[in-house]
Chain A
Amino acid sequence: KAGVTQTPRYLIKTRGQQVTLSCSPISGHRSVSWYQQTPGQGLQFLFEYFSETQRNKGNFPGRFSGRQFSNSRSEMNVSTLELGDSALYLCASSLALAGGYTGELFFGEGSRLTVL
Chain B
Amino acid sequence: QKEVEQNSGPLSVPEGAIASLNCTYSDRVSQSFFWYRQYSGKSPELIMSIYSNGDKEDGRFTAQLNKASQYVSLLIRDSQPSDSATYLCAVSIITGGGNKLTFGTGTQLKVEL
Contact = CB atoms under 8 A, between A and B. Distances in A.
Partners in one complex: yes
A57 B45 CA distance: 22
A48 B100 contact: yes
Nearest to B102: A45
A45 B102 CA distance: 7
Contacts of A41: 105
Contact of B100 (A42, A56, A90, A109): A56
Counting chain B residues whose Cβ lies within 8 A of the other chain, the interface size class is 20 to 34
A57 B43 CA distance: 21
Interface residues of A, number: 22
A3 to B, nearest CB: 10
Contact of A104 (B34, B42, B98, B106): B34
B105 A42 contact: yes
Contacts of A33: 101
Contact of B97 (A55, A105, A108, A109): A55
Contacts of B66: none
Interface of A: 33, 35, 41-43, 45, 48, 55-58, 90, 101-110
Interface of B: 32-34, 42-46, 49, 88, 90-92, 95, 97-106
